[in-house]
Amino acid sequence: MSVRDPVPAMSAALKGAQIYFGPFLVTSQVKYPPIPHRKIISLTVHKVFHLTPLSFALVNLKPILPGHVLVSSRRRVPRVADLTAAETSDLFLTVQRVGRMVERVYGASSLNIAVQDGPEAGQSVAHVHAHIIPRKRADLDHRGGIDAVYHLLDGEEGDLRRAFGEGKEGERRPRAKFPAVDNEGRSPRSMEEMEAEAEMLAREMERMEREIVG
């Protein structure tokens, strides 16, 4: 196969990167491996699993469905219109690549791709980001059908913000009220679970890109 994407991934740069999603640091120095008497290597796979020159991809605290991830611009701007042409291209080429990968890894057959571009569209973290949600046949029939994903998406947005920062930054954005969503059944994932998924997805992205280049 030939190289399709003009912007190469820089997975190696994940180590040591400090990436912010809105006001929230989504990389962190974790000690790995946790083995005594062995050189400690710092990994920064806390939530971010893929990095390009202008974009990054991160896992979710409360995924709506398995493989639900976000792709965000590295520059912290609130609106799609604030992105340069290069940033816009890179963001959606990253959405395309990451979407292909999570669809395969999670055994899905479709994707919901959604950008809440501004507070009146449901955006809660003022930093451009696209949701990618792998879909399978009848995967939400028990929650109300195919479009239940959007109810859950809006619930997730709220959860995401609360999980990252409520009470920490004092930055609050007014957000329109909407009907109560079935969030009670979803409990936040552990740090270990999120890191394990982020590591797995980072490996899958590198593998896929080796295949594309090779």
Residues that bind its own copies (CB under 8 A): 4-6, 80-81, 83-85, 88-89, 91-93, 95-96, 99-100, 103, 108-123, 133, 135-139, 141, 144-151, 153-154, 175-179
Of 130, 174, 121, 185, residue with least CA distance to 152: 185
Query: Is residue 143 within 8 Å of 183, Cβ to Cβ?
Result: no
In this complex, which beta carbon is closest to its own copies, that of residue 17 or of residue 126? Answer: 126
Q: Is 125 annotated as a binding residue?
A: yes
Of 41, 51, 40, residue with least CA distance to 18: 51
In this complex, which beta carbon is closest to its own copies, that of residue 48 or of residue 98? Answer: 98
d(CA 48, CA 26): 6
Shortest separation between residue 97's beta carbon and its own copies, angstroms? 9
In this complex, which beta carbon is closest to its own copies, that of residue 30 or of residue 114? Answer: 114
Catalytic residue at 127? no
Phi, psi of 38 (to 5 degrees): -125, 145
Q: Which of 46, 68, 129, 151 is catalytic?
A: 129
d(CA 30, CA 121): 35
Known binding positions: 60, 116, 122-125, 131
Catalytic (active-site) positions = 129
Known binding positions for substrate: 60, 116, 122-125, 131
